[in-house]
Structure 1
Amino acid sequence: MDASTARAVLHYVLAGGCRIAVTGTAALDPSRGELVLLPAAARHRISPLPGLRGVSPPPPSTAAGGTGPADPADPLGPAVGIAVLDGPGGPVRLLSLRTGYDPRAVRPLVAGLPRAVLLERRRVEAAPLLRDTLRLLAEPGRRPGPGDLLLVLRAFEAALALAAGPRPPGAAHPHPGIGRTVAAIETRYAEPWTVDTLAREAGMSRSSFTAAFREAVGTSPARHLTARRIREAARLLAETGLPQSAVPARVGYRSRVGFHLAFRTAYGTTPGEYRAAAPRRA
């Protein structure tokens, strides 16, 4: 990873319960079905409950489906791993995920989050993309594959959008309207958004919204929406068999010409050429 890439860690509890003590913030006690997101990969220690000596973080178990020893060039270790801890109430099993991401693309979401976020089981279960990706990565006997990095990135994006979405009463957000709008773009990019409808989503006037969005995200709402749509289009072209002609509408474009121009501007190639090169990239 280069210097412009940020790192994140996710821990999904498959069995038992544990304590995740994060440097600089309160410890979290997730149980089965709950997910802890560390959007900036903060240093942390994990131990079974109640408070036995922890590890920092637990080493992935290749026997349980992990991806093998950590890469010495990457202190975060492999992208996917299963950790097993011995606890007083039985073994604790964790699916541990590590990914890199472009911080510029999600700046307002990450900026508004604490160092560690606990996503309760009901919230994870209510998010099909996140839930199904986690289940796929945790499937018993699953062997690592070339698509793991993309799967982990999708899980991170889904968890990040969920964490930055509507919060319990009393939970503050430094930019509640902007955070809500970025979460909407992240998960509902195919809707026919305009700057006016995005401003209404944020509960702000058009002029105030545009200025606040640019300050928080570093680009205009329209550019951010385009980037999200084109990113999803690239994923569909590279990872699925969806007909190329169906991709523009799937990501929110009503004009194929507009889609082709936007895609070529972003990737320097046509959608067809991008799809043809996908197997070589994998």
Structure 2
Amino acid sequence: MDASTARAVLHYVLAGGCRIAVTGTAALDPSRGELVLLPAAARHRISPLPGLRGVSPPPPPTAAGGTGPADPADPADPLGPAVGIAALDGPGGPVRLLSLRTGYDPRAVRPLVAGLPRAVLLERRRVEAAPLLRDTLRLLAEPGRRPGPGDRLLVLRAFEAALALAAGPRPPGAAHPHPGIGRTVAAIETRYAEPWTVETLAREAGMSRSSFTAAFREAVGTSPARHLTARRIREAARLLAETGLPQSAVPARVGYRSRVGFHLAFRTAYGTTPGEYRAAAPRRA
């Protein structure tokens, strides 16, 4: 992993409850259906909740359904398997965790990561209210599922969805943002190549443009247009670095009708041209 690549870890509780002690901050006690996001993969230890005796530390997660190291920040393993299942057995009942690891370009998500604590607990109701995140976690946790070449991309998508959820403030007393915002975030995530405008995104949400823009900014932490641009440029960077798609075909593939507009947006996001980014890709791999 290149020095310009950051890494993140997610732990999703499938059964029971545990304690995740994070270096430099307060411990978190997630239970079934809750997700802990460590946006900078801070060192941490997973253990049974206090009061449970005779329970060993969780075995390290490897591939889904297996076991492996519990601390994803092990310096000998800079990234590790993308998907793993860890299990803790004890008198308090079984505890199962879906553990995910991903690398990402910090420049693409700097506004979302800035200001987040070293570990964020996303309550079950918030995860359930985010269809893209919820469904990706369920897919990765399916019993008997075998690791595949698309795991890294799925985990990256789960990280991006969790990051947007963690960075988006909630109104006091509200369980989750307007459901229309969730629909538009999912639409941007999966249908970024469509010719979206703020007006069409507002229609997708079933809201007026002004109400939609305000609600989106409150929930996600940025404007709809900026979020759409960031999603498109992230996908463009992936295509340039990981595929042989002709560079001339990339703008249209991610929703740009103007090559000039695409080049300007890419250079603003990454500080380099698409061609220079592709040329440097082998060194980042």
Q: Give me the TM-score of the superposition, normalised by structure 2.
A: 0.64
Instruction: Sort the Cα spacing of 1:99 and 1:214 in 2 relative to 1 into closer, same or farther, 3 A.
Output: same
Q: How many residues align structurally?
A: 282
The whole-number CA distance in structure 2 between the counterparts of 1:54 and 1:272 is 57
Offset at 1:24? Answer: 1.2
The whole-number CA distance in structure 1 between the counterparts of 2:185 and 2:252 is 20
* Mapped contact 1:178–1:202 kept (Cα < 8 A): yes
* Mapped contact 2:192–2:232 kept (Cα < 8 A): yes
**Which one of the candidate residues 215, 219, 240 is aligned to 1:216?**
219
The secondary structure found in structure 1 opposite 2:188 is helix
Offset at 1:27? Answer: 1.1
The whole-number CA distance in structure 1 between the counterparts of 2:144 and 2:35 is 21
Instruction: Sort the Cα spacing of 1:180 and 1:130 in 2 relative to 1 into closer, same or farther, 3 A.
Output: closer
The secondary structure found in structure 2 opposite 1:163 is helix
Instruction: Sort the Cα spacing of 1:50 and 1:56 in 2 relative to 1 into closer, same or farther, 3 A.
Output: closer
* Mapped contact 1:60–1:96 kept (Cα < 8 A): no
Offset at 1:218? Answer: 16
Q: Once superposed, what is the RMSD of the aligned Cα atoms?
A: 6.5
* Mapped contact 1:20–1:47 kept (Cα < 8 A): yes
Q: Within 5 A, what are the aligned runs for 1:11-160?
A: 11-50=11-50, 58-61=58-61, 65-66=65-66, 73-160=76-163
The whole-number CA distance in structure 2 between the counterparts of 1:67 and 1:278 is 32
Percent of residue pairs identical: 99
Instruction: Sort the Cα spacing of 1:260 and 1:210 in 2 relative to 1 into closer, same or farther, 3 A.
Output: same
Offset at 1:21? Answer: 1.0
Offset at 1:43? Answer: 1.1
Instruction: Sort the Cα spacing of 1:158 and 1:214 in 2 relative to 1 into closer, same or farther, 3 A.
Output: closer
Offset at 1:88? Answer: 2.8
- Flag structure 1 segments of 5+ consecutive residues without an equivalent: none
**1:193-216 CA deviation, whole Å, 9 max, x = no partner?**
889999999999999999999999
Instruction: Sort the Cα spacing of 1:119 and 1:266 in 2 relative to 1 into closer, same or farther, 3 A.
Output: closer
Instruction: Sort the Cα spacing of 1:74 and 1:207 in 2 relative to 1 into closer, same or farther, 3 A.
Output: farther
The whole-number CA distance in structure 2 between the counterparts of 1:97 and 1:88 is 26
The whole-number CA distance in structure 1 between the counterparts of 2:145 and 2:282 is 21
Offset at 1:230? Answer: 3.7
* Mapped contact 1:47–1:53 kept (Cα < 8 A): no
* Mapped contact 2:2–2:283 kept (Cα < 8 A): no
* Mapped contact 2:164–2:220 kept (Cα < 8 A): no
Offset at 1:112? Answer: 1.7
Offset at 1:100? Answer: 0.7
* Mapped contact 2:61–2:86 kept (Cα < 8 A): yes
**1:177-229 CA deviation, whole Å, 9 max, x = no partner?**
99999999879967988899999999999999999999999999988753421
The whole-number CA distance in structure 2 between the counterparts of 1:247 and 1:123 is 34
**1:16-55 CA deviation, whole Å, 9 max, x = no partner?**
0011111111111111000000001111111112255899
**1:42-75 CA deviation, whole Å, 9 max, x = no partner?**
1111111225589998444568624879998524
The secondary structure found in structure 1 opposite 2:63 is helix
* Mapped contact 1:166–1:180 kept (Cα < 8 A): no
**1:115-167 CA deviation, whole Å, 9 max, x = no partner?**
11011111111111111111111110111111111111111000000101123
Q: Give me the TM-score of the superposition, normalised by structure 1.
A: 0.65
- Flag structure 2 segments of 5+ consecutive residues without an equivalent: none
Instruction: Sort the Cα spacing of 1:94 and 1:252 in 2 relative to 1 into closer, same or farther, 3 A.
Output: same
* Mapped contact 2:128–2:134 kept (Cα < 8 A): yes
Bigger drift between 217-226 and 151-160 goes to 217-226
Bigger drift between 121-130 and 218-227 goes to 218-227
The whole-number CA distance in structure 2 between the counterparts of 1:38 and 1:70 is 10
